[in-house]
C-alpha cells in the first residue's frame, strides 16, 4: 500500500472538501460584501441627484457630444453612463477586494492552516476561493448596471439608446448592447482579479493584496497616458479598458474588444498559474 493510499481516510473525496456553497455563504456574510453591494446600489441614485442639482448634461455647445451628454436621454443611456464613470476605477475595487482578500484573510486570521488540515487539498482550496471570488465580482458588475437601468428608467423613461456618434438604437437592442458591455468589462477585469489573487497567496496582509492590485492598475492607467510608449501601450490591459465603447456604435465593432480580452486573459492565465504554483510550495504557518 502506498503512502498516499494509506493516508487517505475511508470515504475521503478531495473534490467534496470546501464546497462552493459553503465558501459562498462565508463570503456573503462578510461585512465588506455588504459594503460593496451598498455602494454599488447607491451610486445610480447619487448620479440622478447630481443631474437633478446640476441640470441635464449638455456638451452640444462645443460641437462635440460624449456619452455623458446623453446620460438623461433614457434609462439605457443612464446605465451606459454609469458604467462609463465607474469602469475605470470603481469596479476595479470590488474585484480586487473579493479576489485579494480571500486567501490572505484566512492567513491573517490564522485559520488557513486549519483549512488545509481538514484536509482540503491546496489546489481545491484555491479553486474554490477563486471561483467564488469571480462569481461575487461578476455579481457586483451586474448589480450596478441593473440598478442603474431601473433607476434611470424611473427617472428618465424607457426609450431608445441615443448614441454619441449620432442615431439611436431600439430599446430592445439596448439591453443586448449593455449585456455585451458588462461582459467585456468583466473579462477586462480578469487581470486585476488574477493579480489580486496571486498577491493574496504570497502575503498574509489582505490590504496588501488588495492595495497592490489597485495600485498596479493605477500605474497601468498612468503608463497608458504616456504616448511616447507608442505601440508598447497595446500590451497594457488598461489600454483596452474602454474598448467596450465600440458596442455603443450603430454597427458594433469587435476588433478592439477581442484584442483587449486576449490581453487580459493572457495576463490572468499567467498570474493564476503563478498563484497555484507558488501556493503549492508555500510553507503555510498561519
Question: Would you list the DSSP string of 199-249?
Answer: HHHH-S-HHHHHHHHHHHHHHHHHHHT-GGGGGGGGG-GGGGTTGGGGGGS
The DSSP 8-state label assigned to residue 66 in this structure reads -
Q: For residues 83 and 146, is the Cβ–Cβ distance under 8 A?
A: no
Whole-angstrom CA distances from 68 to 73, 79, 145 are 10, 11, 15
Per residue in 237-286, pLDDT (tens digit) is: 888 888 998 888 888 889 999 999 999 999 999 999 999 888 877 666 55
Burial class (CB within 10 angstroms; exposed 0-12, middle 13-18, buried 19+) of 242: middle
Whole-angstrom CA distances from 136 to 24, 29, 63, 128, 139 are 8, 12, 41, 12, 5
Q: Please give the grid coordinates belonging to residue 116.
A: 488545509
Per residue in 218-238, pLDDT (tens digit) is: 898 899 888 888 888 889 888
Confidence label for 119 from pLDDT (cuts 50, 70 and 90): low
Per 3-state DSSP, the chain is made up of helix, strand and coil in percentages (nearest 5) of 75, 0, 25
Check residue 180 and give its pLDDT.
94
E strand or H helix that includes residue 88: none
| pTM listed for this prediction | 0.85
Q: Please give the grid coordinates belonging to residue 219.
A: 500605474
Quickly tell me which residue has 449593455 as its cell.
178
Q: For residues 137 and 98, is the Cβ–Cβ distance under 8 A?
A: yes
Quickly tell me which residue has 454609469 as its cell.
82
State which of 5-19, 63-77, 136-150 shows the largest mean pLDDT: 136-150
Q: What's the first-to-final CA gap in the chain, in angstroms?
A: 32
Q: For residues 71 and 173, is the Cβ–Cβ distance under 8 A?
A: no
Amino acid at each position: 500500500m502506498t503512502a498516499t493510499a494509506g493516508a487517505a481516510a475511508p470515504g475521503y473525496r478531495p473534490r467534496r472538501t470546501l464546497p462552493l456553497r459553503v465558501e459562498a455563504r462565508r463570503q456573503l456574510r462578510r461585512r465588506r460584501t455588504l459594503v460593496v453591494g451598498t455602494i454599488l446600489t447607491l451610486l445610480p441614485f447619487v448620479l440622478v441627484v447630481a443631474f437633478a442639482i446640476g441640470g441635464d448634461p449638455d456638451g452640444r455647445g462645443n460641437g462635440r457630444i460624449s456619452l455623458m451628454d446623453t446620460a438623461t436621454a433614457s434609462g439605457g443611456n443612464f446605465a451606459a453612463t454609469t458604467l462609463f464613470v465607474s469602469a475605470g476605477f470603481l469596479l476595479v475595487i470590488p474585484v480586487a477586494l473579493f479576489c485579494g482578500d480571500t486567501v490572505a484573510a484566512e492567513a491573517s486570521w490564522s485559520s488557513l492552516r486549519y483549512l488545509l488540515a481538514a484536509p482540503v487539498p491546496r489546489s481545491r482550496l484555491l479553486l474554490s476561493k477563486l471561483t467564488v471570488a469571480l462569481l461575487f465580482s461578476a455579481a457586483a458588475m451586474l448589480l450596478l448596471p441593473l440598478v442603474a437601468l431601473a433607476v434611470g428608467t424611473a427617472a428618465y423613461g424607457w426609450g431608445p439608446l441615443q448614441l454619441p456618434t449620432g442615431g439611436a438604437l431600439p430599446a430592445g437592442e439596448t439591453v443586448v448592447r449593455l449585456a455585451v458591455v458588462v461582459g467585456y468589462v468583466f473579462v477586462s477585469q480578469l487581470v486585476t482579479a488574477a493579480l489580486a489573487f496571486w498577491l493574496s497567496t504570497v502575503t498574509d496582509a489582505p490590504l496588501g493584496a488588495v492595495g497592490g492590485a489597485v495600485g498596479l492598475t493605477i500605474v497601468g492607467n498612468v503608463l497608458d497616458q504616456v504616448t511616447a510608449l507608442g505601440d508598447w501601450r497595446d500590451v497594457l490591459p488598461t489600454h483596452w479598458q474602454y474598448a467596450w465603447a465600440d458596442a455603443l456604435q450603430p454597427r458594433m465593432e469587435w476588433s478592439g474588444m477581442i484584442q483587449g480580452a486576449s490581453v487580459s486573459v493572457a495576463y490572468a492565465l499567467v498570474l493564476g498559474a503563478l498563484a497555484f504554483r507558488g501556493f503549492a510550495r508555500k510553507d503555510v504557518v498561519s
